[in-house]
Amino acid sequence: EGHSVPSIEGLTIHSTNEKSKFPGCYPSLNPVDIYREHIAEAVGKAAGIDPQLVYSKIAWTNSLDKGDLTLPVPALQIKGKKPNDLCAELAEKIPESDLIQKPVAFGTHLQLFFKPGPLTKSVISQILANKTTYGTNGNLGLRDPSDPSKGKKKLIVEFSSPNIAKPFHAGHLRSTIIGGFLANLYTVTGWDVIKMNYLGDWGKQYGLLANGFKRYGSEEALLKDPINHLFDVYVKINQDVGAQEGPIKELKEKIKAKKEKNEDATAEEAELEKLVDASEDENARRYFKSMEEGDPDALALWKRFRELSIEKYKQTYARLNIDFDVYSGESQVSPESLKSAYETMEKSGVTEKSEGAVIVDFPKHKAKKLGKAIVIRKDGTPLYLTRDIGAIVERHNKYQFDKMIYVVASQQDLHLAQLFKITELMGYKEIADKCQHINFGMVRGMSTRKGTVKFLDDILRDVADKMHEVMKKNEAKYEQVEDPLKTSDTLGITAVMVQDMSGKRINGYDFNLDAMTSFEGDTGPYLQYAHARLCSIIRKSEINLERLSDADFSLLTESHAIDLARYLAQWPDVVVNTAKTLEPTTVLTYLFRMTHMLSSSYDILRIVGREEQLATARMALYESARQVLYNGMKLLGLNPVNRM
Ligand code: ARG
């Protein structure tokens, strides 16, 4: 179960051993760091304070008109002067330099603008040199940034986690998209990332499924399409359960009525016992019991279902650029882990007996809002929550993680809050503190055009079909696309993912096929188009890409060119900021701002018919923009297309 060296297909992660006197400052990986160093020194000198105190206070701006960086003067905590006055005074004292313009005092904020010439040169050169590394920073994930030999911090990100033989619903889709993104994000910031899928693969329903398979299953269908076949079997056997429930319920009522009238119900009771004994529900219970007891035959069938399902999941995940390091699951929590959890919970006084079951009464442990939870049923069996309790400790023992993220829908907020609280109460506060629930809102109305959705593959196929229709509308272009079906598939996946990642995670959204597949607005197809257009410009020009770094960047004088370069300089900082927000929209918002700037530049920064020196400088800018867009899309888990 070892995991591969953390990497993202298409991106390279670099670290550096250059040392700055400022923490987290790596000019060879982030061009803005040069400016931060410079500004910290300049402000420190003007204010008569240690530049170290300035460095960490330098902040990002929301828009380019407010500067490239800003310094909130009150944050410097210099006493004796009004912040407004101090700000004006600093602006007055700090001279223009070779890197920055003279600062602008704006209220209590010092606005800092980079000088265009040196910026375009350093940014474009760095992007052309670092390519797929630009924006990554392997130093951020080090346990001790001053001593790489102490190794990387280790993260487990648990995500997707569907339930075998049940639909892969919108919650699983979001968990997959967001989890895949988080895994990438931590990887490019230098963490050692383990991607874990915690399958719903254990419980009475797998007894039901096994029995259902004996009745309705087909070996051939199982091999051909395990996920859909097992789901069909599950639906059928559940119908049987439903059909048997009626008579059982009727009989129970009859017995109750008779007893109330003090009549003899022995005959009915015998009949009830027979009915229950022969029911699929009881059969399932018995089958699952034999699984729990380790019966090899019962386990063999279940294991095949599990393995075939995983094989199929793997193919679907591959379409989303995701591969898991570990397929864990409810079934994989060891009996020893459960036993030890029971004992620890009892010893630490977390649990108590209640009507034959074992429960946690949270209000008694200063956690009023968490209510009560059962951890061992009357019949002695564990629950969903119990397995998570066993698993959290088991994983910590096995992986010694520095952090663990659970990417699960906000419907399970209570579940995870209970899990973390119990872990803490058991005496494992240090484990609980390392864990984080990354939650998200619901997708409304996710269904295929033909009806309700069952599986991710159906959704992806549907969106790809729609994308194919959209592409066909532009005949001339359509003709030029090499493999239209493959392209429409990639575009469809991009459409779904970008729609999912556009808002804040906690907000739900409507699954809107027309909106997500449109080329207008901030959509996936728009991003892909922006990338393909850049590729096309580069293809069509006769400029040798190898020579771009020798271009004369001083020819990039138009405000469009300069502003585009200013955006491109921000990318490494956007990655750092995203590592704080853990929101895919932080990346997307940036990519859309940058590509909008790009779109409005094409008319002004033309290449065709321009003199070679100028054309080469502009091409270097475009190639840099393409590289940043590519790196950003890859970080999100998208596959940038070169033609569409
Ligand atoms: N299989 C669960 C479901 O579909 C999600 C599992 C979330 N992870 C966890 N450790 N509980 O609802």
Q: Are 572 and 123 in contact (CB under 8 A)?
A: no
DSSP letter (8 states) at residue 569:
H
Which stretch of DSSP H or E encloses residue 324?
none
Q: How far is the CA of 96 from the centre of ligand 1 (A)?
A: 57
Q: Are 35 and 69 in contact (CB under 8 A)?
A: yes
Domain annotation covers residue 170 = no
Domain annotation covers residue 137 = no
Q: In sequence order, which ranges of 503-611 are alpha helices (DSSP H)?
A: 513-516, 524-540, 559-581, 584-599
Q: Are 41 and 34 in contact (CB under 8 A)?
A: no
For residue 138, the tally of other CB atoms under 10 A from its CB is 22
CATH number at residue 617: 1.10.730.10
161 lines ligand 1 (CB under 6 A): yes
Longest dimension (CA), the chain: 105
Domain annotation covers residue 197 = no
CA nearest ligand 1 atom 6, residue: 161
Gap between the terminal Cα atoms of the chain: 39
Residue 455: the pLDDT is 77
**What is the best residue among 175, 197, 384, 408 to mutate for testing ligand 1's pocket, by most ligand atoms within 8 Å of CB?**
408
Q: How far is the CA of 200 from the centre of ligand 1 (A)?
A: 7
408 lines ligand 1 (CB under 6 A): yes
Question: β-strand 351-354 against 326-329: which pairing, if any?
Answer: unpaired
Residue 145: the pLDDT is 85
Q: What is the pLDDT of residues 581-602, one digit of tens each?
A: 999 999 999 999 999 999 999 9
Q: Which amino acid is at 474?
A: N
Residue 564 to residue 559: CA distance in whole angstroms: 8
Residue 198, strand partner residues: 328
Residue 6 to residue 274: CA distance in whole angstroms: 57
From 121, 153, 172, 466, active-site residue: 172
CA nearest ligand 1 atom 3, residue: 162
198 lines ligand 1 (CB under 6 A): yes
- Mind spelling out the 3-state secondary structure of 267-302? HHHHHHHHHHHHCHHHHHHHHHHHHHCCCHHHHHHH
Q: How far is the CA of 17 from the centre of ligand 1 (A)?
A: 41
Q: How far is the CA of 122 from the centre of ligand 1 (A)?
A: 47
388 lines ligand 1 (CB under 6 A): yes
Q: How far is the CA of 176 from the centre of ligand 1 (A)?
A: 12
168 lines ligand 1 (CB under 6 A): no
Domain annotation covers residue 441 = no
Residue 10: the pLDDT is 82
Q: Are 194 and 156 in contact (CB under 8 A)?
A: yes
Q: Where are the beta strands (DSSP E) in 73-205?
A: 104-106, 109-112, 154-158, 192-199
CATH number at residue 101: 3.30.1360.70
Supply φ then ψ for residue 257, to 5 degrees.
Answer: -60, -45
Residue 453: the pLDDT is 60
Burial, 571: exposed, middle or buried (Cβ in 10 Å; 0-12, 13-18, 19+)?
buried
Buried b (16+ CB within 10 A) or exposed e, 509-544: bebebeebbbeeebbbbbbbbbbbbbbebbeebebe
Domain annotation covers residue 146 = no
CA nearest ligand 1 atom 5, residue: 161
Residue 409: the pLDDT is 97
Residue 642 to residue 538: CA distance in whole angstroms: 10
From 169, 195, 229, 421, active-site residue: 169
Q: How far is the CA of 408 from the centre of ligand 1 (A)?
A: 7
**What is the best residue among 156, 160, 161, 309 to mutate for testing ligand 1's pocket, by most ligand atoms within 8 Å of CB?**
161
Residue 584 to residue 332: CA distance in whole angstroms: 31
Torsion of Cα atoms, 532 then 537 then 540 then 542, to 10° = -140
**Count of the separate structural domains present in the chain:** 2
Residue 631 to residue 637: CA distance in whole angstroms: 10
Range of the domain at 538: 447-636
Domain annotation covers residue 213 = no
**Weakly modelled stretches of the chain, pLDDT under 50:** 1-5
List the structure tokens of 427.
């005496």
Residue 524 to residue 501: CA distance in whole angstroms: 10
**What is the best residue among 412, 416, 436 to mutate for testing ligand 1's pocket, by most ligand atoms within 8 Å of CB?**
412
What distances in angstroms separate CA 273 from CA 256, 279, 288, 555, one per listed residue?
Answer: 15, 10, 20, 90
Domain annotation covers residue 576 = yes
Residue 426 to residue 423: CA distance in whole angstroms: 5
Q: How far is the CA of 161 from the centre of ligand 1 (A)?
A: 6
200 lines ligand 1 (CB under 6 A): yes
Domain annotation covers residue 575 = yes
406 lines ligand 1 (CB under 6 A): yes
Q: How far is the CA of 134 from the centre of ligand 1 (A)?
A: 35
163 lines ligand 1 (CB under 6 A): yes
DSSP letter (8 states) at residue 187:
H
For residue 220, the tally of other CB atoms under 10 A from its CB is 9
Q: How far is the CA of 4 from the centre of ligand 1 (A)?
A: 24
Closest of 125, 106, 118 to residue 61, by C-alpha: 106
Residue 4: the pLDDT is 41
What distances in angstroms separate CA 315 from CA 163, 200, 352, 463, one per listed residue?
Answer: 16, 18, 45, 18
From 109, 121, 166, 312, active-site residue: 166
CA 247 to chain centre: 47
169 is catalytic: yes
632 lines ligand 1 (CB under 6 A): no
Q: Which amino acid is at 507?
A: N
Residue 579 to residue 159: CA distance in whole angstroms: 18
Domain limit, last residue, from 94, 113, 132: 113
Which stretch of DSSP H or E encloses residue 498?
helix 484-502
337 lines ligand 1 (CB under 6 A): no
Q: How far is the CA of 333 from the centre of ligand 1 (A)?
A: 14
Residue 454: the pLDDT is 63
Instruction: Please enumerate in sequence order all residues whose Cβ is within 8 A of that of 125, keeping only pairs 6 or more positions apart, or say none.
Output: 549, 553
CA nearest ligand 1 atom 11, residue: 388
Q: Are 570 and 61 in contact (CB under 8 A)?
A: no
Torsion of Cα atoms, 225 then 228 then 232 then 233, to 10° = 50
Residue 516 to residue 494: CA distance in whole angstroms: 9
